[in-house]
Structure 1
Amino acid sequence: MYEFNDREKIIVFTGPDGSGRKSVAEAVGQTFGMAKVVSYATRSQRPGEVNGQDYHFVTHATYEEMEMQGEFLESVTIDGHYYGIRGLDVEEHLDLRGCVYLILNREGAEILKKVYGEKVVRLFVYADRRTVEERQRRLGIDPDTITARLGHYDSEMAYRASCEHAFENYDLGQTTYEITNTLEAYLQRNLVDKD
């Protein structure tokens, strides 16, 4: 098992699809100079997604081989697709930067919390159902995918009470600022002006 030092943290951004968690995570990650750990997925790339940046898109056969080799810390199946995080990716990024972030659904967030305990800080980012649906439509996501994602909305929202912090996201700048202030207490990077 990986040996953490006092300052090392795994920051998990979670919440419903369309909540803006990816935009918030990337802004906060850049502010703190955190490395992003990219998950593996067997589904097809969606418009605007970049392989190696949003997910490592792999075939079912490749994913199953990696899983048989014990490479994944967590592996979940959602709507018939596999998603997983390689333990080696987490540990290598922690060694380099001392802090990493991930964007995960509730299953992935919960598994990481069980594996790494207090070193994991879960940040729940959310918006109301109508806003989430509108954001996904504006991104050009196909209606069937939006319907499938909204089918998970209530179960994702129920996870909010389990997370260390929750942030309503209607303004990217404001939400990023609030999360940066919150993480400053954990990371002690002296990025926030207290005056």
Structure 2
Amino acid sequence: MLKQRGLLIVLSGPSGVGKGTVRSAIFEDTNCDYVYSVSATTRERRPGELEGVDYFFMSRESFEDLIAQEALLEYAEYVGNYYGTPLASIEENLAQGRDVFLEIEVQGARKVREKIPEGIFIFLAPPSLNELESRLTDRGTDSKEVIARRMNKAKEEIELMRHYDYVVVNDEISEAVDEINAIIKSEHLRVERVMHSIQADINAYFEEEAKQS
């Protein structure tokens, strides 16, 4: 059967919802065969984050060079910092049948949807806004003023979930991981994704039968 093209999986949601934590848990599974597309950002590195693993951390000038070179699938400015997805290797991996996983901000996800509408867009939502505020506070990296800005932004972003294919509530990390993996597995079984390879197999069978008759 013909090899199926890989899926572009886009996970996004408001700041503090736990996108990075859920993504890390997905990739900690030894059976995970997704390709993680590392995003670039101009924000400061947080404790425990690694260059080239969590993000490519760069200066504003370097990021704007990438914009000028059209080397980004998408980019957005969020709370004073740039975030973006480098183009390198994404199309190559998809063509090879590998699923590419993006963890990006909501603004960026909307731009990817415009360019690659066949992608799988998953919105990671908090159990409640009170819980989201607690997570932002417990992170200890932002001032009260920045947290207030992030909460106002979160309200706007949550209202955009209607533009996604799926919503996963991040209450328990393990449950969120299981739900995301189930979504991806089911998407691979959609009729439009498998019918061409099955039809090709049918055609090949009957062509061989015709040659032998």
1:47-94 per-residue CA deviation (whole Å, 9 max, x = no partner) reads: 332221221111112112222111112121122222221112422443
Say if 2:5 and 2:97, in contact at 8 Å, map to a contact too. no
Residue identity in the other structure for 2:16: G
Percent identity, aligned pairs only, is: 26
1:5-26 per-residue CA deviation (whole Å, 9 max, x = no partner) reads: 7431111111111212222223
Say if 1:37 and 1:93, in contact at 8 Å, map to a contact too. no
Say if 2:35 and 2:100, in contact at 8 Å, map to a contact too. yes
Task: Say what the alpha-carbon RMSD is for the aligned residues.
Answer: 2.0
Residue identity in the other structure for 2:7: K
Structure 1 runs not aligned, ≥5 long? 189-195
Say if 2:6 and 2:96, in contact at 8 Å, map to a contact too. no
Change (3 A) 1:147 1:92: farther
Q: What is the aligned partner in structure 2 of residue 74 from structure 1?
A: 74
1:98-131 per-residue CA deviation (whole Å, 9 max, x = no partner) reads: 111111111111111111111x111111111111
Measure the CA separation in 1 of the matches of 2:154 and 2:169.
15
Say if 2:5 and 2:96, in contact at 8 Å, map to a contact too. no
Change (3 A) 1:164 1:62: same
Matched, 1:157 2:155: no
Q: Superposed, which structure 2 residues align to 1:15-54 within 5 Å? A: 15-29=13-27, 30=29, 31-54=31-54
How far off its partner does 1:97 sit? 6.2
Measure the CA separation in 2 of the matches of 1:48 and 1:87.
26
1:133-189 per-residue CA deviation (whole Å, 9 max, x = no partner) reads: 21222222222432332121111101211100001111111121122222111235x
Q: What is the aligned partner in structure 2 of residue 191 from structure 1?
A: none
Matched, 1:123 2:132: no
Measure the CA separation in 1 of the matches of 2:166 and 2:138.
28
Larger C-alpha radius of gyration, 1 or 2?
A: 2
Say if 1:72 and 1:87, in contact at 8 Å, map to a contact too. yes
SS at match of 1:77: strand
SS at match of 2:150: helix
Measure the CA separation in 1 of the matches of 2:89 and 2:149.
29
Say if 1:15 and 1:105, in contact at 8 Å, map to a contact too. yes
Residue identity in the other structure for 1:160: M
Q: What is the aligned partner in structure 2 of residue 64 from structure 1?
A: 64
Structure 2 length as normaliser, TM-score? 0.78
Residue identity in the other structure for 2:181: T
Structure 2 runs not aligned, ≥5 long? 190-213
